[in-house]
Structure 1
Amino acid sequence: MSRSRFRQLILLPKFPAPFQKLIGGSVWLRSDVEAYIREHRRPKPPADDDEQA
């Protein structure tokens, strides 16, 4: 993921708040970010039967 895309995501109201804000930047808990991804990731399209062989 690019830095610019990450900056877009952290501005979303449902993105988890940082665990801590440091001089060098903010820190998120991995578990919070992974929970956000599970909840908001678009589902993968079903596999095409012709491609499975």
Structure 2
Amino acid sequence: MSRQRAYQITSRADFPAPVADLAQGKVWMTEDVEAWMKVHRRDVDDAEA
């Protein structure tokens, strides 16, 4: 996945909020992202096509 695509996905209103915003970048809980992926995986795949 490109850096641009990662930014697009993490900027979605329905994407989980990061638990921290460090100098190196934002940090998410794995469980939060995996739960989001289970619900939205098809949306993400469709947007890339």
> Which TM bucket (shorter chain)?
0.7 to 0.9
User: Rg: which structure is higher?
Assistant: 1
Residue 18 of structure 2 is aligned to residue 6 of structure 1: no
Deviation of 1:24 (Å) = 1.0
What residue ranges of structure 2 are gaps of 5+ in the alignment? 43-49
Alpha-carbon distance in structure 2 between the residues aligned to 1:20 and 1:2: 22
CA RMSD between the two structures: 0.7
Deviation of 1:11 (Å) = 1.0
Q: For residue 9 of structure 1, what is the amino acid of its counterpart? A: I
Q: Percent identity?
A: 48
Alpha-carbon distance in structure 2 between the residues aligned to 1:3 and 1:35: 21
Structure 1 runs, 4 residues or longer, greater than 3 Å off: none
Residue 26 of structure 1 aligns with which residue? Answer: 26
Equivalenced residues, count: 42
TM-score w.r.t. structure 1 length? 0.73
TM-score w.r.t. structure 2 length? 0.78
